Amino acid sequence: MGRYEIRLSGAGGQGLILAGFILAEAVVRFTDQEVIQTQSYGPEARGGASKAEVIISDEEIDYPQVTKPDFLLALTQEAYNKYNRDLKEYGTMIVDERVDAAFRGGPTYVVPIQRKTQERLGTRLVVNVVSLALFNHLHEVVPVDKLQEAVLERVPRGTEDLNKKALELGQELAQELNTYKVFREEEEEDE
């Protein structure tokens, strides 16, 4: 695989920087690929919209910044508005169901990530890990058990069970992913 750019975005505090870090670490530990992780710092990282970016490649990664993400996760409207513009043509998007996202031509999934996490786990603390499991399923970065190993290594002690359940929920949503796929309006008319 050539250079693949991933942008995970949401509100500050949703743990997306940790998710990006865990993803990058999983790549280092369980694959032969190169990986880079960057994040927003400073005022940009506090409250409001926040992002973590990961680049995965078979080859050396020279320029370290994401310029045209192949994949965008947006958990909030603010993050979507701020970070969707440079998505690659036909790039993949997963957005929370409460985000009003424009169809951009690539695979687009509108998933009730926040609602299901709250309903099933009684907290939204782990939306980052639910999202990570969803992305990992879609992109097959590492096997599920390896992702779990990477997650449990980095989450705060005492939250292991909650995070395991978050991974299960993410897997579950991933199985149903096609039901969340949105299509161009004319395509729907054709059907």
Partner 1 sequence: MSERVSLMQGNEASVEGALDAGVRFYAGYPITPSSEVAEDFAAKLPPLGGKFIQMEDEIASMAAIVGASLAGKKAVTATSGPGFSLKQEIIGFANMIEAPCVVINVQRAGPSTGLPTSPAQGDMMQARWGTHGDHPALAVAPSSVADTYLLTFQAVNWAERFRMPVMVMLDETIGHLREKVILPSREEMIIVNRKHPQGSPQSFQPYDIEDEDLIPPLPPYGSGYRFHTTGLYHDETGFPANRPEITKRLLDRLHDKIDRYKETLYLYDSFGLRQANQLIISYGGAARSAKAAWRIAREKGLLVGLLILKTIWPFPEEIVAQAGHDKNNIVVAEMNRGQLIGEVERIMDKRIPIRGAQRADGVLITPEQILAQLEGVN
Confirm or reject binding of residue 35 to partner 1 (CB under 8 A). yes
Tell me if 158 contacts partner 1 by CB under 8 A: no
Closest to 18 (Cα-Cα) out of 159, 174, 121: 159
Size of the site for partner 1 (CB under 8 A): 19
CB of 61 to partner 1, least distance (A): 7
Least distance from partner 1 to the Cβ atom of residue 86, Å: 13
Task: Report helix, strand and coil shares of the chain as percent, to nearest 5.
Answer: 45, 20, 35
Nearer to partner 1, 69 or 121 (CB): 69
> DSSP string spanning 69-132?
-SEEEESSHHHHHHHSTTPPTT-EEEEETTS-----SS-EEEE-HHHHHHHHHS-STTHHHHHH
Q: Nearest approach, Cβ of 155 to partner 1 (angstroms)?
A: 16
Using CB under 8 A, pick the residue from 11, 30, 34, 172 that binds partner 1: 34
63 binds partner 1, rule: CB under 8 A = yes
CA atoms within 13 A on the CB side of 2: 2
Our finding on whether 95 is near partner 1 (CB under 8 A) is no
Binding site for partner 1 (CB under 8 A): 21, 24-25, 27-28, 34-39, 41-42, 44, 61-65
